Amino acid sequence: MVYILIPSGTWPHFRCASLDGDADRLIFFRLIPNSNNKIELVDGDKILSLFAIFIQEQLSLLEELPARLGVVQTAYANGAATDYLRNLGLEVIFTTNKPSSRRCTEWVAFGRGNTSQQRMVFPKMVRSIPRFAKPSTQGMLLSLFIKFAELQYRTAIVTADAETRVVKPAALQELIDTETAKYTHGRCFVRPSGTEDVVRIYAEAATQDSADSLANSVAQHVNHILGSDIKT
As a whole number, mean pLDDT of residues 10-16 equals 80
Phi, psi (rounded to 5 degrees) for 225: -80, -40
* Domain span holding position 62: 44-131
Query: Which pLDDT belongs to residue 145?
Result: 58
| CATH number of 154's domain | 3.30.310.50
Q: Check residues 149 and 167 and name the one with the higher pLDDT.
A: 167
Give 160: exposed, middle or buried? Use CB within 10 Å, 0-12, 13-18, 19+. exposed
Quick one: 124 and 154 in the same domain? no
Give 22: exposed, middle or buried? Use CB within 10 Å, 0-12, 13-18, 19+. exposed
Query: Which pLDDT belongs to residue 65?
Result: 66
Half-sphere exposure of 55 (CA within 13 A, CB side): 16
- Residue at which a domain ends, from 131, 160, 178: 131
Query: Which pLDDT belongs to residue 148?
Result: 57
Query: Quick one: the chain helix, strand, coil %, rounded to 5?
Result: 35, 25, 40
Q: Check residues 185 and 181 and name the one with the higher pLDDT.
A: 181
Half-sphere exposure of 193 (CA within 13 A, CB side): 14
Question: Does 214 reside within a domain?
Answer: yes
As a whole number, mean pLDDT of residues 19-43 equals 80
Q: Check residues 88 and 180 and name the one with the higher pLDDT.
A: 180
| CATH number of 96's domain | 3.40.120
Question: Does 81 reside within a domain?
Answer: yes
Question: Does 91 reside within a domain?
Answer: yes
Question: Does 36 reside within a domain?
Answer: no
Q: What is the pLDDT of residues 37-52, one digit of tens each?
A: 788 888 888 888 888 8
Pairing of strands 39-42, 158-160: unpaired
Residue 134: pLDDT band (50, 70, 90) is very low
Quick one: 111 and 91 in the same domain? yes
